[in-house]
Amino acid sequence: MNKVRPSTAPRAWRRWLGNLISLGIAIVFCYFVIGSLLLRLLPGLMPTLSGQFPMAASLWWQPSAPEPTNNDYLALLGDSYAEGVGDWKAEQVDVTTPSHSADIIHRLIGRDVLSFGKRGASSAEGLVRLPALALGAGQCLVFPSLQPPQEIVYYFYEGNDLEDNLEFIDERLGLSVGDANIGDASMDFLAHNWQDPGRKPCLLYFGKTIKSLIKTAKKTIVHRYGATVDEAQPLPAPNLARMGSEVVTLPATLQGPALDLDAQSDDAAFEVFEVSLASLQQMLAGVKITVVHLPSVLSTYELTGPSVTVEINDTGSIVHSSADVASRSDAICRRLREITVSSGAEFFDARPAMRDLGTREIIHGPRDWTHFNRTGYTHLGETVAAALMNDKTTNDCGQLASTE
C-alpha cells in the first residue's frame, strides 16, 4: 500500500522567504555599516574629491573647522566659491593644508571657520538647505552634532546665482518666471522641505555618494580620452583684458554677471534670495549675517575691445558689449544691497578689491577658469577678513562701470 507523503511546497516556500529576509537584512546591514565607515573616513583620505561627499561627512575635515562642541565659529555659506572649488583646492594633497578663503579668514581673524558651501547651490540651498543639513548632521548618529554658529558670511556669486535661483523656481516650485506667487511658494517650500530635513537625508547619504563618485569618474574618463569636436562650428572669440600696460588674452566663454536675464527674471531670482535670507534669519534668530557680493569672472578684469564672449547655461555662449559687464554688475550690486540691508543683515561688496587685483594679475585658472586660483582665494579671504574686523554695519556698492 502506498504511503501518502506530506507536501513539501509550504516548507520550500518558507525556506525561500527566510532566505530573502536574510538577504534583505544583510544588504541593509552592509549598507549602513559600510556606508558609515566610508562616510566617516573617505573624505579625509580623498581631499580632492571632498565635494562628492555629503557636507555632513566632509565638514570635520576642513583645516579651519571648530571642535564639534564649540559654537564660537563663523559659518561660510554659498555655492562653489564658499566650498573653495578651484585650482588651489585641486592641488590639495592633505586635508590639513589650506585650500581656500575660509582658511585665510581663519588665520587672520583668529576664529574657527566652517564652510557649508556646495557647488551649484542656489540662494535657497545655500541659505537654507545646506545650513539645515549641516546643523542636523548629528541626527545621523555617525556624525558629530554641530552647534549653531555665532556669525554667518554668505557669498553671493553674480556669475550664476541668479540663474540657479531661476532653476529652483522651475524645478522645485514648478513655476514660471512671470508667476505672481513665487515668494509665497518659496517660503512654503522651504518651511516644509528644507528648514527641518529630519533623518531622511541620513538614509540617502551613502547611495548619493556612490552615485556622485561614479558620475565624477565618467566625466574624468571622457575628459582624459577627449570628446568629439565639431570642427564645422566656429570657435568663440577670446576675451581681452588690460593688465598694466599690456593686453592679455583670456579664455573664451567666461562667466559674466547674468547678462542674459531680463527684468522679469531678475525680479523672480531676487525674490528667491530675499525669501531665503528671511528663512535663514528665522532658523538662526539673532545670528549676525553678512552678505558678500563676489564678482563674476569677466567683472574681475578690465576688459578691452568692443565685445566679450559670455558663457550661457554652462554649455553655450553669447557675445555682449564689453561695457555691459561692469554696468550690469553694478546694477546687481545695488539690488542685492537693497534687499540685504532692508532685511537687517550686513552687506559687503568684494568686487572692487578683486577687480583691483585683477588689473594686475590673473586670479583665475589656469585649469579652472570658473573659480579663483590660490592668489584669488587668498585675496578674497584677506578682503573679507578686513571687512569683518572693521565691523561695518553697512557697506555701499563700489562702481566698476566707467563714469566717462
In the predicted structure, residue 224 carries a pLDDT above the cut 50: no
Task: Please write the tens of the pLDDT for every residue from 117-136.
Answer: 999 999 999 999 999 999 98
Question: Where are the alpha helices (H) located in 114-225, listed in sequence order?
Answer: 123-124, 130-135, 161-171, 182-189, 200-225
Give the three cell numbers for residue 83.
566650498
In the predicted structure, residue 227 carries a pLDDT above the cut 60: no
Tell me which of 220 and 141 has the higher pLDDT.
141
**Residue that the C-alpha cell 588651489 belongs to:** 88
Q: Label residue 386 by pLDDT band (50, 70, 90).
A: very high
Question: What predicted TM-score, i.e. pTM, was given to this entire model?
Answer: 0.87
- Distance between CA 222 and CA 24 in Å, rounded? 36
Lowest mean pLDDT among 228-232, 273-277, 325-329: 228-232
- Distance between CA 104 and CA 115 in Å, rounded? 12
Q: Select, from the ranges 136-150, 203-217, 262-276, the one with the highest average predicted confidence (pLDDT).
A: 262-276
In the predicted structure, residue 10 carries a pLDDT above the cut 80: no
The reported pLDDT for the residue numbered 312 is 81
In the predicted structure, residue 231 carries a pLDDT above the cut 80: no
Residues 6+ apart with CB under 8 A from 145: 68, 137, 138
Burial of 375 (0-12, 13-18, 19+ CB in 10 A): middle
| Geometric angle at alpha carbon 74, from 68 and 80, rounded to 5° | 100
256: three-class secondary structure by DSSP: coil
Task: Please write the tens of the pLDDT for every residue from 43-78.
Answer: 766 776 677 777 777 787 788 888 777 778 999 999
Instruction: Provide the CB-side half-sphere exposure for 266 (13 A, CA).
Output: 17
Fold of 65-201+238-390: Rossmann fold (3.40.50)
In the predicted structure, residue 345 carries a pLDDT above the cut 70: yes
Other Cβ atoms closer than 10 A to 92: 17
- Distance between CA 349 and CA 354 in Å, rounded? 10
Percentage of the chain exceeding pLDDT 90:
58
Domain ranges of the chain: 65-201+238-390
